[in-house]
Amino acid sequence: METFYEKYGGEETISKVVDYFYELVLADETVNHFFANTDMEKQRKHQTKFISYALGGPNQYSGQSMAAAHKGMNLQPVHFDAIVAHLQAALRHFGVQEEDIRDALEKVNALRKDILYK
């Protein structure tokens, strides 16, 4: 079965989705402060590899665990939900089908306990 990653054009498309996603995130005062001191070029590359892997692409992700990556941030449900909403909007913007968006967001929501309240 074709993976989400293959269906939508691989890392090149995921990279465009990630760029648009961060445009939305950085414009959102609910969450943009978390990225105030972040090297966004590095963050975009890192996130592209992570999302590519999460959506069925090759495992090029060599970053920290979700819990370690978010340690000390004390992310709350409102923050997590804002990020999920921006990812959903970015996927829609690039014409991803609703069924595939639901599947992608299920994978993201599975990480919720590893990200919140750290």
Known binding residues: 46, 70
Sole residue written with tokens 């969450």: 31
Known binding residues for heme: 46, 70
Give the integer Cα–Cα distance in Å for 79 and 62.
Answer: 24
Give the integer Cα–Cα distance in Å for 63 and 14.
Answer: 18
Q: 57 and 8 in contact (C-beta within 8 Å)?
A: no
